[in-house]
Amino acid sequence: MFAALADDTRWQLLQELGRADLSASALASRLPISRQAIAKHLAVLAEAGLVEPVRVGREVRYQAVGSRLTETARALDAIGATWERRLDTIRRIAEAP
């Protein structure tokens, strides 16, 4: 999942999909990226469970999966808290007489 989020383009796609469900063509009209490149990025995000395709008539729109994004945010918070504790320990050791 973190590998899927490691790309700026995929972050942009998630931001757009957080505002509305959109097709690859609609995303391509909003971003300076080809529809083919967007389709590849959407496949990576879908494989990570961060977006899912929804068929609307003949069109496939993508939507962000809120529960997965919330889970990811919690994981990042936990990682951040772990590093804060480690840095506090290093700081105390470095400042000890």
pLDDT on residue 29: 94
* Reported pTM: 0.71
CB 74 within 8 A of CB 83: no
pLDDT on residue 18: 87
pLDDT on residue 67: 64
In percent, the amount of the chain with pLDDT more than 90 equals 65
pLDDT on residue 66: 76
- Topology annotation, domain 2-95: Arc Repressor Mutant, subunit A (1.10.10)
- What would the pLDDT profile of 44-89 be if each residue is shown by its tens digit? 999 998 999 999 999 999 998 876 777 777 888 899 999 999 999 9
Give the list of residues 6+ apart from residue 52 with CB closer than 8 angstroms, or none.
46, 62, 63, 65
Half-sphere exposure of 35 (CA within 13 A, CB side): 6
